[in-house]
Structure 1
Amino acid sequence: MRAAFATRFDDANPLSALVVGEQPEPEQRDGWTTVEVRSSSLNHHDLWSLRGVGLREQQLPMILGCDAAGVAPGGEEVVVYPVVTTPSDPRGYSLLSEHFPGTLAERVAVPVENLVPKPADLSWEDAACLPTAWLTAYRMLTTKGRVDETDAVLIQGAGGGVATAAALIAVAMDKRVYVTSRDAKKRERISALGATALEPGARLPERVGVVIETVGEATFEHSLKASAPGARIVVSGATSGHLPKFDLRRVYAMQLEILGSSMGTPGELAALLAFCADKAIRPVVDEVIGFSEVERAFERLHEGGVFGKLVLDHTR
């Protein structure tokens, strides 16, 4: 079957490690099933894999991709939950494309319990955006951030997949949403989605009860200063660096909670799908690209400047 996969690692030029070609059909395992992929979406995780982050040479070749929507045996339309229990991994789990082949292929094998029914109101392209970035954002806001306890949210770093998803979800929840970005065009686009866009470090009109933090070093001090007493700062990434310097006195004096978050559960994915269908909110899709042009999709991801998600249509 045709797939996009890593055959080696290249930290300086990850695109050079990408190969598009034939790979074996998915391995048959007890309790697993095979999904015919209709759409998938790219994540920065895919570029990190090409750089060798989270993979070892003995795991190569590895089919890339975490996100997909497709058709299960019997014809059911499903969204693939991308987390697999993995005792050999220190976390106890792994994402597809880490220990098991990923979704950037004609077919992908997953545990049966990883199939979540796709609402009829969601297109293949929209559904394929949700399992990683959107699920991460949804869990950060709800389970970890307890966003129902506040009216105001700060999201650092407009334009990234998780940040954009968090903004749309929080707006749909009728929260006052503040989002930062260095890019004036991204601030303009996020404002059009219903959020208040600010430059990084700008003073907010109010302190917030939840901060969605994916940037790290460049924004973490601002996240602390913008937090109301008892606020939750939920962290799922550190794109600008993972060793921020900040004043611990603010943490205990304001009784702040700093919480780590990663992905979510199948139940949370089902709840997210229902939420999107019920609220009529859809992912921001930068571009839908045919799988025959998957190399161009990776080039766009690597170049930066993408707002929202890059989606692959596996039917063309």
Structure 2
Amino acid sequence: MLAAAAMSLHPDSPLDGLAIGEQPEPAPLDGWVTVTVRAASLNHHDLFSLRGVGLPADRLPMILGCDAAGVTPDGQEVIVHSVIGDPAAGGGDETLDPKRTLLSELYPGTLAERVAVPRRNLIPKPAGLSWEEAACLPTAWLTAYRMVVSRAGLPAGGGGTVLIQGAGGGVATAALLIAKAAGHTVFVTSRDETKRKRAAALGADEVLEPGARLPRRVDAVIETVGAATWGHSVKAVRPGGRIVVSGATSGPNPPADLTRIFFLQLSVIGSTMGSRDELVDLVAFVERTGVRPLIHEVRPLADARAAFEQLLGGEFFGKLILRPPA
């Protein structure tokens, strides 16, 4: 079957190890199901894998991809939850299972014509979501939903204030749309003027350059950038507020700013992916509110290298989608 796979690992030049071509068909384990993929989306996780982060050389070749929507052998339209873990081992949350993994880390991923997953990891796809929209939800949108709804401590009925660092990426764009749909005031930063304009068009209440002074301090910051924005994040949150961190695309070791953190009693909250139950809640949320993922471009799976080049270069706003051949 056609797939996009990591064949070798290159920390400084990740696309050197990417191959688009034939890979073996999935071999489902007991209790697993083979899903025919209708759409899959790219994530920075795919680039991390090609760099060797979380993917050792002894697991190569590895089919990439965490996100997919597709059809089961009995005709069910489903969304794939990519966290493979035991909820019982994580106190009811499989993301806390010490042995949890994502598709494309230990088991072949979703950038393929077919993917095998545990039956538990299948969520019914609503008819009102396109294949492309559904394929955006399991990683970037689920990560953003957990950050904004589950981890940020914002009022359940809306009325909170939130700063989202780095508009344009999949998680940041999802966080903007989710936070606005939930009724919060949203400030967004980006170093790119075009992305600031797009964020404003999506409903951001204020768009600013990185490091700019906010109209007021916020209840929570959604932080996925890391070193480049960390100092601003710490200064932007109100006393007693939260900084929710799920990534560090500009570098993983920002200055700690510990004095401000303890003096203002700030909470720094880590957040990774989301549980199956949260994915079910997210699907219900998008159905209820009418909010939909922003899609930058859809390409055939055979053109995956061009989509990866866009992902690496950062020249996109929203999600990059691949469609396997019908």
TM-score, structure 2 normalization:
0.93
Which residue is equivalent to 2:57? Answer: 57
1:105 to 107, 112, 126: 112
| Shift, 1:221, TM fit | 1.4
2:232 and 2:306 map into 1 onto residues whose CA distance is: 36
Q: Is 26-35 or 90-99 further displaced after alignment?
A: 90-99
Tell whether 2:151 aligns with 1:144: yes
Residue 136 of structure 1: SS of its match in structure 2? helix
Residue 189 of structure 1: SS of its match in structure 2? helix
Which residue is equivalent to 1:247? Answer: 257
| Shift, 1:281, TM fit | 1.0
The amino acid that maps onto 1:250 is R
1:210 to 201, 217, 220: 220
Residue 68 of structure 2: SS of its match in structure 1? strand
Residues 209-288 of structure 1 mapped to structure 2, 5 A cutoff: 209-288=219-298
Residues 150-189 of structure 1 mapped to structure 2, 5 A cutoff: 151-189=160-198
1:298 and 1:239 map into 2 onto residues whose CA distance is: 16
Residues 18-57 of structure 1 mapped to structure 2, 5 A cutoff: 18-57=18-57
Query: Can you list the C-alpha shifts for 1:146-186, whole angstroms capped at 9, x where unaligned?
Result: 22266100001101111110001001111110000000110
Query: Can you list the C-alpha shifts for 1:115-150, whole angstroms capped at 9, x where unaligned?
Result: 011111100000001100110000011111122266
2:261 and 2:302 map into 1 onto residues whose CA distance is: 50
Structure 1 unaligned segments of length 5 or more: list them: none
Tell whether 2:140 aligns with 1:133: yes
2:312 to 284, 298, 302: 302
Tell whether 2:78 aligns with 1:78: yes
The amino acid that maps onto 1:297 is A
> How many correspondences in the alignment?
315
1:303 and 1:167 map into 2 onto residues whose CA distance is: 22
Which residue is equivalent to 1:9? Answer: 9
| Shift, 1:245, TM fit | 1.5
2:29 and 2:143 map into 1 onto residues whose CA distance is: 28
The amino acid that maps onto 2:149 is T
| Shift, 1:190, TM fit | 0.3
The amino acid that maps onto 1:106 is E
**Identity in percent:** 59
Residues 205 and 290 of structure 1: CA distance in aligned 2, closer, same or farther (over 3 Å) = same
TM-score, structure 1 normalization:
0.96
Q: Is 144-153 or 230-239 further displaced after alignment?
A: 144-153
| Shift, 1:90, TM fit | 8.9
Residues 90 and 270 of structure 1: CA distance in aligned 2, closer, same or farther (over 3 Å) = closer
1:146 and 1:127 map into 2 onto residues whose CA distance is: 27
Residue 148 of structure 1: SS of its match in structure 2? coil
1:283 and 1:258 map into 2 onto residues whose CA distance is: 27
The amino acid that maps onto 1:130 is L
Q: Is 249-258 or 208-217 further displaced after alignment?
A: 249-258
2:161 and 2:240 map into 1 onto residues whose CA distance is: 13
2:97 and 2:9 map into 1 onto residues whose CA distance is: 22
Please say if residues 276 and 282 of structure 1, whose CA atoms lie closer than 8 Å, have aligned partners that are also in contact. Answer: yes
Residue 155 of structure 2: SS of its match in structure 1? helix
2:312 and 2:230 map into 1 onto residues whose CA distance is: 25
2:107 and 2:120 map into 1 onto residues whose CA distance is: 16
